[in-house]
Chain A
Amino acid sequence: MTILLDVADVSKLFPVGGGPGPLARFKRRFSGGPEKLPKVYAVDNVSFTINKGETVGLVGESGCGKSTLVRALTRLVDVSDGSIKLGTRELSLKPSRVFARDRDRARIQMVFQDAGESVNPRFTAFDAIADPLRRLRKMRGKALTQRVETVASQCGLPLPFLSRYPHQLSGGQRARVGIARAIAVEPELLVLDEPTAALDVSVQVVILQLLQRLKREFGMSYLFVSHDLSVVRLLCDRVLVMYLGKIVESGPAAEVFERPLHPYTQALVAAVPRLHENGTGRLRLTGEPRSPIDPDPNVCRFYGRCPLSAAMCKTTMPKLRRFGPRQVACHFAEEFLLVPKA
C-alpha cells in the first residue's frame, strides 16, 4: 500500500493572552513577546499516515483538537511544528494563505459539518459547486457547466436543484452540495468533518452510502471526523482516537471498538447507546478534562478522569506504543490486551 498522507510530529499551539481589557493588554505588552505567553496545546506531537484508498476515522470529544488537526492538514491554518507530506510534496512549508492558490490545493478537499452554514447563502447550488472549478481548474463556459452537472448527478442532486439557494434545499440536499463541491476538483484526499451530524438517521444512511460509493468509484482516501462511533465503525478501515491534543489509540476500526485498550477509548465505546442493550452500570467518566494550557509534559493527559490513575501516570507521560497493527498510549495497555473480550 502506498502512503498518501504522512503526518509527522505535528503540533499546533495557540498563545492565550489572558482576555481583553487594558490590564491584560499591558501584561501582554511587557510579558516578553508572544513566545512567553501561556499556550493552548491544541494538537501536540501527532503522527499518523493515511494510505491510498483508505478511510481513516478520527474520533474524540469536543475540544480535543480534532478540528484544529483537520484544519492544519487541509492547510487552512499553519502548524507550529512538524511535517505534513502529501505523496512526496511537503505541505507545511507554505503559509496557508499562499497555499489557497497552490496547484496542490485541489488534492485535499474538505466537506464541512453543516452545509447550511458552510455554503455561501448567496450562491446557488451551481455556483457553490462551480466555485472551486473556476478557481483551481480555471474552467469556464460549457466545460464548467458540464462538469458541475456531472458531479451533481454523481452526488444524487437532481439537476433542477442546481439553480436553488441553500435555504431552498433540504438538509440532505445541502449535504450533497457540500460533497459535490469538494469532489468537483477530483481530490485524492477528502476530509469530512462530521458530514452527517445535522441529519436525521434516514437521510444519514443515504449520505453515508453515497460517500462509500464515491470512494469506490474514484479511489479517494477519506479522513472522517466524527463523534458518532457507530457511524465510524461502519465507514472506516482504521480509527484514530484523540484526547486533549494527543492520539491515545489507533488501529483497525473493528478491533479498536471490539477491544479498546486505552481507558478513554473504553469509556467512549461504553457510552455509545446501543439498540437492544440498556446502558446502566457501564464505565463512566467523572470530572472535567485537564486544562490544555501549558500541560505538564510528564503527566498523562487523561490523569484524573481515568479510572486507573496510578502513581506512575502522574510522573511519566505514556508513549504511543505499538501492539501489532495497533498503537496505544497507556502504561497499562498490556493488561487489557490479555483480558478476554466482553
Chain B
Amino acid sequence: MTTAAPALSVEGLSVDFRTRSGIVRALDNVSFAVDKGETIALVGESGSGKSVTAYAVMGILDPAGKVTAGRAMLGGLDLLSAKPSQLADVRGREIAMIFQNPRTALNPIRTVGRQIADVLIRHGNVPRRDAPGQAIDMLRAVGITDPARRAKAYPFEMSGGMCQRVMIAIALAAKPSLLIADEPTTGLDVTTQAVIMDLVNDLAKEMGMATIFITHDLALAGQRSARIVVMHAGHVVENAPTEELFTHPRHPYTAELIAATPDSAASLDELASIPGSLPDLRRTDLPPCRYSERCPRKIDACAQPLPRSTSASGHMVACWNPMPERIADAPTESAA
C-alpha cells in the first residue's frame, strides 16, 4: 500500500451474532484500508458481510452483534473501542454514511431541509440561525432544482432519486473525510443511478474525501472505484486494484463472479453460474476457507488456515491455490 497514512484502516475485524440457533461469525478477520481521497468498493453477494462491516465501523451494529476482535483506525482513534461519546462526535463529522433505502433512512415527519440543518448544527459548527440557508445550499449542491421549495418538502413527497440526493446532502453536510455508501443506488433506475454515482464521485473528488462504496454490482464497482475488496461469507477473499482484478482475478470466487456478470458474455449460454451457495455460517465445522466447498480449485492445503499473500502491486488474495498470476486472456478494449 501507499506510504501515506490511510483514512481508515480496518485490521482483523471479527463480528459474531448471537442467534437462537447458535453463534454466527458474520465477519472473520476482515482487513482492508482506504487511503485519503481514494474510492474503494466492497463487493460480494448478499450475506457476504459487506453491510455488517460498514455497521461495525460506524458503531451501529444490531445489539445481537458483537465485535470480538480487530481495530478500525480512523487517524489515531480506534472506532471499535471508542467511547459512545467519542463516536458520536466522529460520526457525521469525520465519517458519514449513505444508507441503502433513502425512504426508510430519512425521518418521515421532518422536512428534508430541517434534517440537513440538524446535521449542520450538530456537526458542522453552523449557528442555528444560518443552518436553514446552508441546508438549501446543500440541496443545490446535490443538484436539486428549486431547492428553497424542496427544503420544505417531506421525504414522501419526493421521488426515490431525489430522496437519495437528500441522503447524500445529509451525509456530506459536515464535510466528512470518509464516506461509506451502502448500496446507494439499489432500487433506482440506471439513468438515475449514473447521475447519483457521478454526483458522489464529483463531490468526493472536490472535497478530497475517501469513499467506501458497498455494492453487489461488480460492473458498477469497477466503474467507480480504484480498488475492489471482494467478500465471501465474512471473509475478504481478494483485494486488488480494479483493472488488475478484472483482467487477472486470482481468487476462484472472484473469477466466477466476473464470469457470472451479464455484461461479460455475448450470449446467455456463455454466462457461468457459481455452483452451490453460501455455507450456513451457524455450522461449527466450517472449513478455514469458507469457499472451499464450492470451489473448483480445491486442494488438500485448503484445510489449513487461510493464507494471505500480497503482491508488489498490492494484490491480496486469500487462497491456497489461486489462479495463475497472468491468465491468457487479452484485456478487453475500452471505449473511453
B partners with A: yes
Interface residues of A (CB under 8 A from B): 61-63, 170-172, 200-202, 204-206, 208-209, 212, 227-231, 233-235, 267-268, 270-282, 284-288, 342
Interface string of B232-252 (1 = CB under 8 A from A): 000000000000001100000
A-B contact pairs, 26 of them (CB 8 A): A62-B160, A171-B46, A200-B45, A201-B45, A201-B218, A201-B262, A202-B45, A205-B260, A205-B262, A205-B274, A208-B262, A208-B271, A230-B262, A234-B262, A234-B268, A271-B194, A272-B190, A273-B193, A273-B220, A275-B222, A276-B334, A277-B334, A278-B222, A279-B194, A284-B195, A288-B145
From DSSP, what is the main secondary structure of chain B's interface residues?
helix
User: Residue among A170, A208, A234 with the most chain B CB within 10 A?
Assistant: A234
Residues in B with CB closer than 8 Å to A280 are 198, 201
Q: A61-B191, A200-B46, A276-B246 are in contact. List 5 more A-B contacts (CB 8 A).
A: A274-B223, A275-B261, A276-B247, A276-B331, A342-B335
Is A227 a contact partner of B190 (Cβ separation < 8 A)? yes
Is B256 a contact partner of A202 (Cβ separation < 8 A)? yes
188-227 of chain B: CB within 8 A of chain A: 189-195, 197-198, 201, 216-220, 222-224
Is A275 a contact partner of B198 (Cβ separation < 8 A)? no
Chain A residue with the shortest CB-CB distance to B224 = A279
**Shortest distance between the CB of A333 and any CB in chain B (Å):** 20
What is the interface size of chain B, counting residues whose CB is below 8 A from a CB of the partner? Answer: 49
Selected contact of A275 from candidates B162, B197, B263, CB within 8 Å: B263
Is B198 a contact partner of A235 (Cβ separation < 8 A)? no
Residues in B with CB closer than 8 Å to A274 are 219, 223, 263
Chain B residue with the shortest CB-CB distance to A207 = B273
Residues in A with CB closer than 8 Å to B201 are 280
309-336 of chain B: CB within 8 A of chain A: 331-332, 334-336
Chain A residue with the shortest CB-CB distance to B247 = A276
Whole-angstrom distance between the alpha carbons of A171 and B332 in the complex?
Answer: 33
104-124 of chain B: CB within 8 A of chain A: none
Interface residues of B (CB under 8 A from A): 45-46, 143, 145, 159-160, 162, 189-195, 197-198, 201, 216-220, 222-224, 246-247, 256-258, 260-265, 267-269, 271-274, 277, 331-332, 334-336
**Shortest distance between the CB of B86 and any CB in chain A (Å):** 37
Residues in B with CB closer than 8 Å to A209 are 268-269, 271, 273
Is A273 a contact partner of B145 (Cβ separation < 8 A)? no
Whole-angstrom distance between the alpha carbons of A278 and B224 in the complex?
Answer: 7
Which 3 pairs of residues, A with B, have the shortest CB-CB distance?
A202-B274, A271-B194, A61-B189
Chain B residue with the shortest CB-CB distance to A235 = B268
Residues in A with CB closer than 8 Å to B256 are 202
Chain A residue with the shortest CB-CB distance to B192 = A61
Is A277 a contact partner of B335 (Cβ separation < 8 A)? yes
Residues in A with CB closer than 8 Å to B189 are 61-62, 227
Residues in A with CB closer than 8 Å to B336 are 277-278, 281
Residues in B with CB closer than 8 Å to A273 are 193, 217, 219-220, 222-223, 263
Chain A residue with the shortest CB-CB distance to B259 = A205
Is A202 a contact partner of B273 (Cβ separation < 8 A)? yes
Whole-angstrom distance between the alpha carbons of A206 and B198 in the complex?
Answer: 32
Residues in A with CB closer than 8 Å to B197 are 279
Selected contact of B273 from candidates A63, A206, A276, A282, CB within 8 Å: A206
Whole-angstrom distance between the alpha carbons of A274 and B193 in the complex?
Answer: 13
Whole-angstrom distance between the alpha carbons of A170 and B247 in the complex?
Answer: 32
* A270 and B194 in contact, given A277-B334, A287-B145, A342-B335 (Cβ under 8 angstroms): yes
Chain A residue with the shortest CB-CB distance to B144 = A288
* A284 and B194 in contact, given A170-B277, A200-B45, A274-B263 (Cβ under 8 angstroms): yes
Residues in A with CB closer than 8 Å to B194 are 270-271, 279, 282, 284
Residues in A with CB closer than 8 Å to B216 are 200-201
